[in-house]
Amino acid sequence: MKNISFKQAINSFEKDLIAAKGYSKATVENYKNDLDIFKRYLADNWDLKLNDLNILDDTDTIHFYITEFLSDNILIKDNSAQRRNRLLFALKSFFKFLVTRNLIGEDPTKKIDTTKTKTRVKPVYIKEKEFNSFLDTIEQSDSRYALRDETILKLLTFAGLRVSELVSLTWQDIDFEEKNITITGKGNKERIVPLLDQAITAIRNYIPVREKIDSKRSEDENIIFLSQKRTRFNPASIWRLVKKYAKKSAISNADKISPHKLRHTFASLVYKKTKDIRIVQQLLGHSDISTTQIYTHVDQEEMKKAINKFGEVIE
């Protein structure tokens, strides 16, 4: 495979759209803008800079980034299925071009389908009645990495961490006395999130396990969670970990549960109990409260209760 920069690949893609496909300049410009949005999303949310094409050849990892990107654009940006499809068409065209030119080995968009519905999409999350089932599955695991996995999943679920925040956590970020965690989020903004006793206990139980592992790289020495390779986790590995336990727990929508959906679960349940959107905003580290508004959705059970109460009034 050729080794060229991402910018060179975009330029070649642009020429192909004009010369081989016969697309108009306006259409080509739209494709380039959509690809630039994806590039900036990776940089802003995952600290990933597309300087060359090497990272794009990790099919599973890029597939994960693309699904998160498309999901966030529906749930947070404008809730438009048509907009998601346009972004997906641009990505599909680009990656198909890269495969055709032998610039990458496999197309990560191949198994991603377009959205057919025009209805508003609610965030996928673990319902309250299934929450304990998910936790039981985590706690009853017989994996050799059970304590590590339990701590990872409880921090994602009980603290609403982004994956990029989780994999960067250091021991200095945990305050056992105050029972809270300092999280460095987007734009290096810090927020402090209180931790439940279950999360604190999980971290304490994991400490002896972590102390026996020497990090492969000096920069990972204080990182809390290390992979089997003794380096900090990459986001795709955390994604696979969450998928594994979600399927084991047999909860509804298990195939759709991802690290970001655990963040949705945290936010949805906090809002359900507090009805305070400002608290949810601060816990998630959202600078704009409009981003947090998606968690004010009302589930089917709450709607049924409301209708029943209405029925009591008119009896």
The Cα-based distances of 37 to 57, 66, 232, 287, 310 in angstroms read: 20, 12, 27, 19, 46
What is the strand order of the sheet 174-175 is part of? 174-175, 180-184, 190-194
The Cα-based distances of 78 to 34, 81, 115, 117 in angstroms read: 15, 9, 14, 15
User: What are the residue numbers of the active site?
Assistant: 162, 186, 260, 263, 286, 295
Q: Is 1 helix (H, G, I), strand (E, B) or coil?
A: coil
Q: Which amino acid is at 46?
A: W
Q: Which amino acid is at 208?
A: P
Q: What is the spatial distance between Cα 164 and Cα 160, in angstroms, rounded to a whole number?
A: 12
Are residues 79 and 120 in contact, defined by beta-carbon separation less than 8 angstroms?
A: yes
Largest Cα span, the chain: 75
Best CA proximity match to 159, nearest among 193, 204, 128:
193
Question: Checking phi first, is residue 230 left (phi over 0); if not, alpha (psi -120 to 50) or beta?
Answer: left
Q: What is the spatial distance between Cα 315 and Cα 297, in angstroms, rounded to a whole number?
A: 28
Are residues 96 and 34 in contact, defined by beta-carbon separation less than 8 angstroms?
A: no
Q: Which letter does DSSP use for residue 171 in this model?
A: G
Helices (H), the chain: 6-19, 25-46, 59-72, 81-100, 128-139, 146-159, 163-166, 197-211, 235-249, 259-274, 277-284, 289-292, 300-314
